[in-house]
């Protein structure tokens, strides 16, 4: 892998540009030994953290809100329509998201290192290589969309739900190809800290998505097909907006037009992309399996609708912890790169405490307003009753998910990705899934048993293990590692 290794060896900078690096570390001499007051140190570290987390929350929340709005419109069409659009998104597109997002994450290493090494031309080349690889991958996955109905029926899904989900899957094929185009473009811009344009364009597209959903469903009377068409249209609008920004002056240093160099080194890029996707796919697919096996219950349509509503609420809130995942990773990596083990430890503390406090606030909101939030998605009394029964489990899931991603971010910032991948495999698939099956079917607890077993047996144990690893970490030893070695390990994030 000569091209990849040369970039890694030459770049000794973190995955941010010189200006932000100097901004983050400009107060280092005032931190630690000179600031004995804990609250003052906490405030300074919080400002550094939110400089990264704030924009990340904004564009993650607006992007995911488009999906939630689609589920809301489908839910008011009927229980069958909500089950179909939820199954299509959570299983079919969910699988797509995990795979393509994992493949595209290789750009976080390559573009970040190239930008730090001032090899600006290579960012555009890497972007084009990612487009080529992900387009080929999209073509290979296409049969999953073409044969959705028989696949779901083979997995035990009800006939009506499987047939309508198959129709929806056909209409979201444009979204499928959009993801292979959009994900590399987002990472290309993020590595240059051009997050502002992504956030503002996402907000504009969200507003347009809301209007388009109303037009397609209630004015043009296209039903559940209208919701699928609107989702594809909105994501392509976002992708084309970012492309126009890139092509017409937004990235003058890093985009120099299409290059024949993009067709060289494709195999090396593919291997790096595949390695980068392992950790992300293991976690992403786990939640999709939860939706899929719920469809095999006796009261599948109602249970699937209720669980989809709970997952939509949880995923909406999850945009905050995922942003802390990114923020914690950057802060820990920066402090370790600067040789400041105590700073890395304190950044971990601030990140975990802040995200947990936000999770507690969301916990109380769910316990108080859960029934009202569920009304956004459905007016069906049976569905709302099941959602209400799942209220406590949803609240604890949100609290747990406010801690686990931050610890994963700390692990990524410290270069422990390979270890986290093994932990995910063991906790999720060797412990969580069997427990979910045991509680759901053997003890006849239905959707609540499946969810509880997978969350507390899988995510709960994973969080405990990560907390023990982070708590026992020798940060002085971590800071003594060579920067090149940490950068090399981060290539597999």
* Nearest-10 Cα torsion for 88, 92, 97, 103: -160
- Write down the pLDDT at residue 116: 60
Q: What are the pLDDT digits (tens) for 50-73?
A: 877 787 788 788 877 888 888 788
**pLDDT > 70 in the chain, percent:** 80
Instruction: Quote the number of domains for the chain.
Output: 1
- Residue 426 maps to a domain: yes
- Write down the pLDDT at residue 488: 40
Q: When comparing pLDDT for 9 and 289, which is higher? A: 289
- Residue 3 maps to a domain: no
Q: What are the pLDDT digits (tens) for 34-47?
A: 445 788 888 888 88
- Residue 243 maps to a domain: yes
- Residue 8 maps to a domain: no
- Residue 389 maps to a domain: yes
The answer on pLDDT for 237 being more than 90 is yes
Q: What are the pLDDT digits (tens) for 399-456?
A: 988 998 888 777 765 656 667 778 888 888 888 888 888 888 778 787 788 888 888 8
- Residue 2 maps to a domain: no
Q: Which domain holds residue 219?
A: 15-27+34-492
Q: When comparing pLDDT for 290 and 337, which is higher? A: 290
Q: What are the pLDDT digits (tens) for 460-489?
A: 898 999 899 888 888 777 654 443 344 443
- Residue 9 maps to a domain: no
- Write down the pLDDT at residue 305: 78
Q: Report residue 368's pLDDT band, with 50, 70 and 90 as the boundaries.
A: confident
Q: Are 390 and 306 in contact (CB under 8 A)?
A: yes
Q: What is the mean pLDDT of the chain?
A: 78
Q: Are 412 and 348 in contact (CB under 8 A)?
A: no
**pLDDT > 90 in the chain, percent:** 16
- Residue 7 maps to a domain: no
Q: What are the pLDDT digits (tens) for 118-174?
A: 788 888 999 999 999 999 999 998 998 999 899 888 877 788 888 898 999 999 999
Whole-angstrom distance, CA of residue 477 vs CA of residue 466:
18
Q: When comparing pLDDT for 62 and 29, which is higher? A: 62
Q: Which of 76-85, 267-276, 375-384 bottoms out in mean pLDDT, i.e. has the lowest?
A: 267-276
């Amino acid at each position: 892998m000569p091209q990849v290794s040369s970039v890694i060896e030459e770049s000794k900078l973190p995955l941010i540009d010189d200006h932000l690096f100097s901004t983050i570390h400009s107060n280092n001499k005032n931190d630690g030994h000179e600031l004995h007051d804990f609250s003052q140190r906490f405030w300074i570290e919080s400002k550094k953290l939110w400089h990264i987390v704030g924009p990340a929350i904004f564009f993650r929340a607006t992007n995911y809100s488009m999906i939630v709005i689609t589920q809301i419109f489908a839910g008011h069409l009927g229980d069958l329509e909500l089950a179909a659009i939820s199954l299509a998104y959570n299983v079919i597109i969910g699988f797509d998201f995990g795979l393509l997002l994992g493949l595209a994450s290789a750009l976080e290493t390559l573009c970040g290192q190239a930008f730090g090494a001032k090899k600006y031309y290579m960012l555009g080349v890497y972007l084009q290589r990612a487009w080529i690889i992900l387009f080929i991958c999209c073509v290979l996955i296409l049969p999953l969309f073409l044969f959705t109905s028989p696949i779901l029926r083979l997995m035990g899904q009800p006939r009506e739900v499987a047939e309508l989900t198959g129709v929806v899957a056909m209409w979201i094929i444009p979204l499928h190809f959009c993801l292979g185009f959009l994900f590399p473009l987002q990472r290309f811009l993020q590595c240059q800290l051009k997050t502002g344009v992504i956030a503002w364009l996402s907000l504009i597209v969200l507003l347009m998505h809301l209007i388009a959903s109303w037009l397609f469903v209630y004015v043009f009377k296209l039903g559940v097909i209208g919701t699928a068409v609107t989702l594809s249209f909105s994501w392509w609008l976002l992708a084309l907006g970012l492309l126009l920004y890139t092509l017409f002056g937004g990235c003058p240093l890093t985009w120099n037009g299409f290059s024949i160099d993009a067709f060289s080194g494709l195999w090396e890029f593919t291997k790096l992309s595949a390695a980068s996707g392992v950790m992300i796919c293991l976690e992403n697919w786990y939640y999709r399996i939860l939706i899929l096996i719920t469809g095999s219950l006796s009261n599948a349509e109602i249970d699937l609708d209720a669980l989809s509503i709970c997952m939509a609420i949880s995923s909406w809130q999850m945009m905050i912890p995922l942003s802390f995942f990114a923020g914690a990773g950057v802060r820990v990596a920066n402090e370790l790169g600067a040789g400041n083990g105590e700073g890395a430890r304190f950044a971990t503390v601030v990140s975990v405490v802040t995200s947990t406090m936000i999770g507690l606030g969301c916990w109380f909101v769910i316990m108080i307003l859960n029934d009202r939030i569920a009304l956004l998605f459905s007016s069906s009394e049976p569905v709302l009753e099941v959602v209400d029964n799942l209220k406590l489990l949803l609240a604890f899931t949100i609290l747990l998910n406010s801690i686990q991603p931050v610890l994963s971010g700390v692990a990524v910032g410290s270069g422990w990705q390979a270890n986290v991948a093994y932990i995910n495999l063991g906790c999720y698939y060797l412990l969580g899934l069997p427990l979910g099956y045991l509680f759901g079917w053997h003890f006849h607890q239905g959707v609540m048993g499946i969810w509880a077993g997978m969350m507390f047996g899988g995510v709960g144990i994973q969080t405990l293990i990560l907390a023990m690893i982070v708590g026992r970490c020798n940060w002085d030893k971590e800071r003594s590692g060579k920067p090149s070695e940490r950068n090399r390990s981060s290539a597999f994030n």
